[in-house]
Amino acid sequence: MIPKARKAVFPAAGLGTRFLPATKAQPKEMLPLVDKPLIQYGVEEAIHSGLQDIIIVTGRGKSAIEDHFDVSFELEHLLETRGKKDLLALVRGISDMIDISYVRQKEALGLGHAVLRAKELVGKEPFCVVLSDDVIDAEIPCLRQLQDVYEFYGASVVALMEVPKESISAYGVVDAEPVDHMGQSGRLFRIRNMVEKPKAEDAPSNLAIIGRYVLTPEIFTSIEAVEPGRGGEIQLTDGLKHLLRSRPVYGYKFEGKRYDAGDKLGFLQATVEFALKRYDLGGPFRQYLKSLPL
**pLDDT of 202-243, one tens digit each?**
888 889 999 999 999 999 999 999 988 777 889 899 999 999
Cα–Cα distance list, 52 to 60, 122, 127, 136, 235 (Å): 26, 12, 11, 20, 26
pLDDT at 256: 94
In this predicted model, what pLDDT tens digit does every residue of 244-273 receive, in sequence order? 999 999 999 999 999 999 889 999 999 999
* CA–CA gap between residue 105 and residue 119 (Å, rounded): 12
pLDDT means per 10 residues, the chain with 294 residues, are 91 82 86 92 93 90 84 83 84 80 87 93 94 94 95 94 88 88 82 88 89 95 88 88 93 94 92 94 93 89
Q: Alpha-carbon distance 146 to 123, whole Å?
A: 20
Predicted local distance difference test score (pLDDT) of residue 179: 86
| Whether the Cβ atoms of residue 209 and residue 174 lie closer than 8 Å to each other | yes
d(CA 11, CA 113): 9
Q: How far apart are CA 235 and CA 151, in angstroms?
A: 25
The pTM (predicted TM-score) of the whole model is 0.92
- What is the structure's pLDDT at 294? 81
pLDDT for 165: 86
Cα(258)–Cα(120) distance, integer angstroms: 31
